[in-house]
Structure 1
Amino acid sequence: MPVQKLTDAGVLTLHCPEGRSHSEVFDTLMRGLYVDVMANGRLAYRVRYRLHGKQRVFTLGDARLLTVEEARAAARTTLRRVLIGDDPRSEVLPEQGPTLAAFFLEQYLPYVKSYKRSWSTDETMLRQHLIPAFGERAMGSVIPPDVARLVETMRGRGYAAGTCNRALVLLRYGYTLALRWNIEGVEQNPAKELKGLKEDNRIERFLTPDQTQHLLVAVRKSQNPLLASIVAFLIYTGARKREVLDARWSDIDVSRKLWRIPKTKSGKVRHVPLSMGALQLLAALRAEHPPLDGLVFANPCTGRPFVSIFHSWDTARQRAGLPELRLHDLRHSFASFLVNAGRSLYEVQELLGHADIRTTSRYAHLSRERLFEAVEAVPLIKG
């Protein structure tokens, strides 16, 4: 049982030992407080206590959102409740309604699964942000300042404005349904009046060939044995992160040099041509890592698709000197390589799977040198 003085910086460097589903690192300054480090990359603060002779655990929240001092304060409050015989895990008062976790997991998710293709995105947002922040709270006890603090905390932790806004939208819609369904204890929507953060969707980063090489060197040094292959495959194909992480060998047709993506953002099946580099990568990957459950990039700790690769990716991009680079920027870089090589926007549109050419037109400005070469085709006017 590892024990150490927890610090904000130290907590973010913790990782789950290979072959284990999770590990626990206890704090030296607060009895019972520990970080639960899971194989999927999630970090959660929990406090262990005994009540009526039985050992129990109470989850305090996401360790990427709470500071160590906040976790210690929450643990101290929890243990004080235990001292007077109150179980922190006990049911909330009926007049406050169900816990937020109970409502969203037992009522909201089954409902949206019936019609929403992207319900898994909601599930991820709940698991990573909303439930760690409010999961144990009664729905009726959450007020607008609580939601505002969550958004501020996420922003302070480096999450993009779009991610913060999606958390806000999900919470707002969940409470709208709770009010519509007359859920007991829910009398207001704490997210209704809060405005979303301003998003600048025009920010796009494109790797230069030199930056690409620096990045590939950095990812090869990662403790995640599959990160280098995942990043290289993203660059080779221009696919979305989730498409790559969920890729299956049964959808790879080596003879036809095609990768079939059954679930795309548009809801349509897409076929991605595979370059020689992508095919060589897949051949090496299959030789080095025996397929698990048919997955191309299975998490070796779980045998399932990676839920998140943020920690290993963040470490690698910092090492490469590219701290602002997002995984999605590899898709932009794929497009920029094509445009600068003289490929048409219609070809880029097809390869990226854009339904509208206007989405692809953002890359029209990339190759200035080619435009200068093009105007030289106009003959000199003798006058």
Structure 2
Amino acid sequence: MPVTSLTRVFVRKCKCPQDKQKIIYSDSRVKGLVLEARNSGGKTYYVRYRDHYGDQRNIKIGDAGVIDLDAARQRTIEVMSKVALGEDPHAERKAMRQVPMFDTFFAERYLPFVKGYKRSWKSDESLYRNHIAPVFGRQRMDAVTTADISKFHHGLCALGYAPGSANRGLIVLRYMYNLAAKWQVAGLEKNPSAGVELFRLNNEKQRFLTMDEVNQLFVEIRRSPNRALEPIVSLLLLTGARKREVLDAQWADFDFNNRIWIIPITKSGKARKMPLSDEAIELLCGLKSKGKSVYLFPNPETAKPFRTIFYAWDTARKRAGLADVRMHDLRHSFASFLVNSGRSLYEVQRLLGHAHIKTTERYAHLSDETLSSAVNVVGSILKSA
């Protein structure tokens, strides 16, 4: 490899010998800068160095007919400075080329992973397809900035989506980056979503039934042509279980000797044990499906669990004057009955199957009301004395 002091004139006039495919000239002024002149007439600047394994590496700078010689020398100095500090620019470039597109990472890594444990993976898939992919799908994951993600997050609200819905988009993006970091995806050194805050939500609806409202509701439920509605609603109130947990319940999940319902699949993805009260046991023993179906509440038309009982529920609640009461509010009411009768939040947490006490703390104010009532009892006693 001939060594010469490269000049602009030399670069412009040098040619590859006719008997060779290419010839490489090494610059005597800046170590590592080489000029490749090819038989086709093309000329390219490269930085040539040896990595810490002793292997020769070439990093392309660019076309010598476009890039000025001084710029090529400056780029060579920058690369060789990194090499002197123990870095490997070639490895860095290779890693950058391996950074996946969002679409590729979602389809090949994220989705197969969440399908294995996350019951709501279809929601993630829909959210990605409809909202994330149109914005980020064809971008490499390292090219997205915090500003890009913040713009996307606020943009969902600008399109009319509720803050909670916008937050779900951000949460999926954040989880994708967290998984990429956990799996050590090459070229990804930071999570750009980490600096974007979730919108604060003030729309957490809490509705608790009073005993009078429970009575009103059951008057109308008993009038429903759907005979399964009354035992379903009763079991929801007696256990605080989620609607789908009750609708999908099987007789094999119940241990009557130990008075326990083992709920196999919960929102958290883990099984949990639910103690059964005397009233719950009595209700279960009175169900006509016992010994005839694997399910507690089989649909008489399909013999499978009901997909929905909304129409029967909606009719009954409206007739009872309780149109604002959702079926999930039966779970809230179960918790409120417990707290107002003096049970601790820890007990409520265990019975509801909350993974974190923070979720259960929404019922803390009910405990405060009970305590206020308790001190009034003392006040009444002293007043009469």
Taking structure 2 as the reference length, what is the TM-score of the superposition?
0.51
Q: Quick one: distance in 1 between partners of 2:224 and 2:186?
A: 50
- C-alpha deviation, 1:225, in angstroms: 6.8
Matched, 1:120 2:119: yes
Bigger shift: residues 166-175 or 203-212: 166-175
Aligned partner of 2:137: which letter? M
Task: Note the residue ranges of structure 2 that are not aligned, 5 or more in a row.
Answer: 1-99
CA–CA separation in structure 2 for the residues paired with 1:221 and 1:260: 31
Query: Of residues 259, 276, 279 in structure 2, which corresponds to 1:276?
Result: 279
Q: Which amino acid aligns with 1:120?
A: R
1:111 shift after superposition: 2.2
* % identical equivalent positions: 36
The within-5 A match list for 1:161-200 is: 161-162=163-164, 164-174=166-176, 177=179, 181=185, 195-200=197-202
Which deviations, in whole Å up to 9, do the C-alpha atoms of 1:62-83 show, x marking residues without a partner? xxxxxxxxxxxxxxxxxxxxxx
**Residue 236 and residue 381 in structure 1: after superposition, are their counterparts in 2 closer, same or farther (change >3 A)?**
closer
Q: Aligned AA for 1:109?
A: L
CA offsets, 1:351-381, max 9 Å, x none? Answer: 4456759746443134478425531475469
> Secondary structure at the residue paired with 1:364?
helix
Query: What residue is the counterpart of 2:332 in the other structure?
Result: 332
Contact 2:153/2:167 (8 A) holds in 1: no
Q: How does 1:289-368 map to 2 (within 5 A)?
A: 290-291=292-293, 294-297=294-297, 317=317, 320-340=320-340, 342-345=341-344, 348=348, 351-353=351-353, 356=357, 359=361, 361-367=364-370
Instruction: Return the structure number with greater helix share.
Output: 2
In the alignment, the residues of structure 2 paired with residue 352 and residue 232 of structure 1 have an alpha-carbon distance, to the nearest angstrom, of: 16
Counterpart mapping for 1:68-83 below 5 A: none
Q: Which amino acid aligns with 1:232?
A: S
Question: Contact (CA 8 Å) 1:99, 1:139: kept in 2 or not?
Answer: yes
CA shift, 1:248, in A, is 2.2
Bigger RCO (CA 8 Å, 6+ sep): 1
Q: Following the alignment from structure 2 to structure 1, what is the Cα–Cα distance between the partners of residues 152 and 364?
A: 40
Tell me, yes or no, if structure 1 residue 238 matches structure 2 residue 240: yes
Give the match for residue 209 of structure 1: 211
Is 1:218–1:317's contact at 8 Å kept on the other side of the alignment? yes
Q: Does structure 2 retain, via aligned residues, the 8 Å contact 1:236–1:278?
A: no
Given residue 107 of structure 1, which amino acid in structure 2 is its aligned partner? R
Q: C-alpha separation between the residues in 2 aligned to 1:190 and 1:312?
A: 47
* Residues 154/374 of structure 1: CA separation in 2 closer, same or farther (3 Å cut): farther
How much has 1:174 moved relative to structure 2?
A: 2.8
Distance 1:134 1:303 in 2: 39
Q: Is the 8 A contact 1:246 1:305 kept in 2?
A: yes
Residue 253 of structure 1 corresponds to: 255
For the aligned residue pairs, the C-alpha RMSD in angstroms reads: 5.1
Instruction: Indicate conservation of the 8 Å contact 1:147/1:191, yes or no.
Output: no
Check the 8 A contact 1:258/1:274 in 2, yes or no.
no
Q: Secondary structure at the match of 1:120?
A: coil
Residue aligning to 1:139: 137
Give me the whole-angstrom Cα distance separating, in 1, the residues matched to 2:126 and 2:374. 45
In 2, Cα distance between equivalents of 1:191 and 1:302: 46
Cα distance in 1 between the residues matched to 2:282 and 2:170: 41
Deviation at 1:233, TM superposition (A): 1.4
User: What secondary structure is seen at the aligned counterpart in 2 of 1:270?
Assistant: strand
| Paired residues for 1:76-95 under 5 Å | none
Q: Offset at 1:235? A: 0.8
Instruction: Please report the TM-score for the alignment, with normalisation by the length of structure 1.
Output: 0.51
**1:259/1:273 contact within 8 Å kept:** yes
Q: Which runs of 5+ in 1 are unaligned?
A: 1-96
Partner in structure 2 of residue 85 of structure 1? none
Q: Which amino acid letter does the alignment assign opposite residue 119 of structure 2?
A: S
The number of residue pairs the alignment matches comes to 274
